Amino acid sequence: MKRNVLLTTFLTIGAVAGCLAQDIWSAIQKVEANKYIINIPDAYKRVSIPEGSGTDYKFDFTGVGLPATVNGAPMYGFYTISHLSGHKEAQALEQSTLEFSSFYDRVTEPGYNFDTSSAAIQGGLIGTLLHTRYYRRSKVSNYSRYFLIVYSDKTDETYILAVTFQYKDPGYDVERSSALTDYVKKVYSHFEIR
């Protein structure tokens, strides 16, 4: 009996989580730049960025299709888009790793810095997906960060799409339980080059 209740609870939570993730894509806003279109859930909020920061766009998606809290503390989510002119994938990869590895208070799991795989944007163009996770003492928070670095012959630009999650979970279980990699790949799959 207890197993049936646990199984039913687990399936219900999974179904609700799946519905939340799917529902956020039912209303999409298009943010158009000269060479690309960012298709994002309507619930994402645009964040002002300082001129000259090197970032084209920044969006806050805290609580959108994801838990609002983890271990009783808020979980924040941000999506940024930037670019480099020309075929500069190696430079973009180095720039991205430098961005997170330069924190003086960054603590990683023993033997782990980052891992790479691949992911696609709309239209099927494949890029390098860089994933890292770490704890920052000054922020008293854990971070999971995903960078997609993709070059387009069509625009002759290298795009850096970055998703950052900030939360409190020393075991990083939220990555698995909330399927953060799948969430990120879905976001990136809606980025469209003109």
pLDDT greater than 50 at residue 12:
no
pLDDT in tens, 58-98: 999 999 999 999 999 999 999 999 999 999 999 999 999 99
CB atoms within 10 A of CB 189: 16
Quick one: pLDDT at residue 22?
Answer: 56
pLDDT greater than 50 at residue 6:
no
pLDDT in tens, 154-167: 999 999 999 999 99
User: Would you say the C-alpha torsion 12, 16, 17, 19 has a positive or negative sign?
Assistant: positive
Contact predicate 146/131, CB 8 Å: yes
| Superfamily designation of domain 2-193 | Mog1/PsbP, alpha/beta/alpha sandwich (3.40.1000.10)
Structure pTM?
Answer: 0.87
Average pLDDT over residues 145-159: 97
What whole-number distance in Å separates Cα of residue 192 and Cα of residue 187?
A: 11
Look at the block and give the residue holding tokens 């300082």. 50
Quick one: pLDDT at residue 20?
Answer: 45
